[in-house]
Amino acid sequence: MDKEQLAKIVADKIDAALQASDHPKKFFITANGRGVTDGGDLYNALLKDVLGVVSVALVDIFQELAAASARSAEKQAAKPADKIAKGKR
Q: Give residue 1's identity as a one-letter amino acid code.
A: M
* pTM as predicted: 0.63
The lowest-confidence range among 19-28, 32-41, 72-81 is 32-41
> What pLDDT shows up at residue 39?
45
9: left (phi over 0), alpha (psi -120 to 50) or beta: alpha
The rounded mean pLDDT for the chain is 79
DSSP codes of every residue in 5-67: HHHHHHHHHHHHHHHHS---S-BEE-TTS-EESSSSBHHHHHHHHHHHHHHHHHHHHHHHHHH
CA separation for the pair 74, 77 (Å, rounded): 5
> What pLDDT shows up at residue 87?
57
